[in-house]
Structure 1
Amino acid sequence: MEAHANPGTPAYQRIAATYRTGITSGELSPGDQLPTEHAIADRFGVARQTVRTGLSLLVAEGLIVARRPHGYFVRRREHMIYRPQEKSRPRPVTPEMVDRFSQQIADEGRVPSQRIEVTLVQAGPDLAERLRVEPGVPIVARRRVRFINGEPTNINDSHFPLELVKDSEIMSPAYIPRGTDQVLADLGHRQDRAIDEILVRMPTPDEIHRLGLGPGTPVAVHYDTGYTTDGRPVRCTVNVLPGDRHKIVFERSWL
């Protein structure tokens, strides 16, 4: 495993290229431990600080993780398949009703969990535009972080105009088996269409904290805004999907 580089390439870049090639070629597998900093320094004839600089590039790229004091390991990638179209499909009503995320992850043999909190936030420009409210007015945020096998996987934050849900169970952080869309319908605000918007950007500090993101990890942001028959937006859900943990899949059919 040796990457070819120009003679003038800095040593730290040669180190990064060598182990990057080993990972992308499959020579190094997820979970494999890299040689120690001392061993790499001896191999390339450089100082350990140069080794750290080279390996930090791979950490930033999401290829390896540092586990002090044990060393560096090839990152395991267990992607979640994210299907935006699933939102509009009917949910079966059963006594054991669980949300789609939990059912999907459990079916894959992994352990789902989530943390929910409800708070009032001031509508920023993005949410104000989508919910058609004045910027800065209080709206209800039902904030949720989803976990797979105890690791944070994505953010699923739903936002509602305060006057629509202030006296409903949406204001409680407890899990709602029938779902918030059905709560809205029971309140007289049934949705009959939604607009999906997906953009890719770098995460905010809050998103980095909530998801435990490493340096250089981009996120896909899925805005899902639901409308009633008369065209009123009553919900805007913001899904934040780390790029190293998700595969976005759209399914289409021709009838």
Structure 2
Amino acid sequence: MTTMGSRESESRWSVESAAGDLRTRICAGEFRRPDGSAGQLPPAGSLGKEYSLSRQAMNQVIAKLAREGLVETRPGSRGAFVRDWEPLVFLPQQEFEATQDGPDADLLTRLVEAVARKGETRMDAVTAEPADERIGAKLGLRPGEHVGVRRRTSIVDGVPALTDDSFVSLRLVDGTDWMTPGSVARGTNKVLAELGHELAFAVDELRPRDTTDEENVRLGLGSGGSVHAIELISTAFDSEDMPVQVTVLTLPGPRNTVVYKRRRLKTEDGG
């Protein structure tokens, strides 16, 4: 149900604050039809009156929400349409729970197919480059050492859902299939195992941040501004506790939910 009228709770609205309020209203289902299907926002002029903003400013608000994947505009239609987009539930623990077969051991494809959605991975680049300070520290590299990098974008139901970039010491993978442009038929984790560094466990770190300009391009968000995202930094170790691979995922908030499963370890007395 759509409610109109001025937004009296805020004395002075900006593009950012109006986008936040409208985002909350969309997520609460305010603009859905009586049958629950996705509805349409009022025209920018009408919304501008609610928020005491110009039509141009409201167009910026709508464009921001469109970049986040919450609404879409259609040629010839007044007002944006709410998108029926279910955030992808990303389960990092599944990396170690399933047999990793197929191109790049595509965890995303398995995840989305399990819930009857379509997933694919786009390979953006395979490069060798100097390790930045953060990646170098996590991999225990000396200053100036290079890393092999595989940059991927995961796409769900035709929408770029997250970026997925992996970093490994170049001296470990130089000249191997890990550096092959495009997909690796048996999976890159299998390549690491063949090199004597099977991934045994991982330490994950989560932090909120905004997307970068480069990520905006890869995620199809345009150049008009960043969106809130979750950064997941996963450092994978082999059985000798050597850090082998760092994977950095950027998950735009409206498109992803990260879920962890925890299990209590059994003690000797069975408790």
Please give the TM-score of this superposition, normalised by the length of structure 2. Answer: 0.77
Aligned residue for 1:2? Answer: 4
Of the structure 1 ranges 218-227 and 104-113, higher mean CA displacement relative to structure 2 is found in 104-113
Q: Does 1:105 align with 2:112?
A: yes
Q: State which of 235, 239, 249 in structure 1 corresponds to 2:249.
A: 239
Of the structure 1 ranges 75-84 and 159-168, higher mean CA displacement relative to structure 2 is found in 75-84
Q: State which of 129, 141, 149 in structure 1 corresponds to 2:137.
A: 129
**CA 1:206–1:20: 2 relative to 1, 3 Å:** closer
Q: Does 1:228 align with 2:238?
A: yes
1:69-148 mapped onto 2 (5 Å cutoff): 70=77, 71-91=79-99, 99-116=106-123, 117-148=125-156
Following TM superposition, by how much is the alpha carbon of 1:114 offset from its aligned partner in structure 2, in angstroms?
1.4
Following TM superposition, by how much is the alpha carbon of 1:141 offset from its aligned partner in structure 2, in angstroms?
0.3
Matched to 1:223, the amino acid is: I
Matched to 1:83, the amino acid is: L
Following TM superposition, by how much is the alpha carbon of 1:173 offset from its aligned partner in structure 2, in angstroms?
2.4
SS in 1 for 2:166: strand
Following TM superposition, by how much is the alpha carbon of 1:65 offset from its aligned partner in structure 2, in angstroms?
4.1
| Separation in structure 1 between the aligned mates of residue 21 and residue 250 of structure 2, nearest angstrom | 32
Aligned residue for 2:269? Answer: none
Tell me, which stretches of 5 or more residues in structure 2 are unaligned?
267-271
Aligned residue for 1:53? Answer: 57
Tell me, which stretches of 5 or more residues in structure 1 are unaligned?
none
Of the structure 1 ranges 217-226 and 170-179, higher mean CA displacement relative to structure 2 is found in 170-179
Q: State which of 165, 169, 175 in structure 2 corresponds to 1:161.
A: 169
Matched to 1:105, the amino acid is: V
Computed over aligned residues only, the root mean square deviation of the Cα atoms, in angstroms, reads 3.4
Matched to 1:28, the amino acid is: F
Aligned residue-pair number: 251
Q: 2:104–2:188: 8 Å Cα contact kept in structure 1?
A: no
Q: State which of 182, 188, 206 in structure 2 corresponds to 1:198.
A: 206
> CA offsets per residue over residues 105-148 of structure 1, 9 Å max, x none?
12322222211131112211111111111344321001111111
Following TM superposition, by how much is the alpha carbon of 1:241 offset from its aligned partner in structure 2, in angstroms?
0.8
| Separation in structure 2 between the aligned mates of residue 189 and residue 65 of structure 1, nearest angstrom | 45
* Identical columns (%): 28
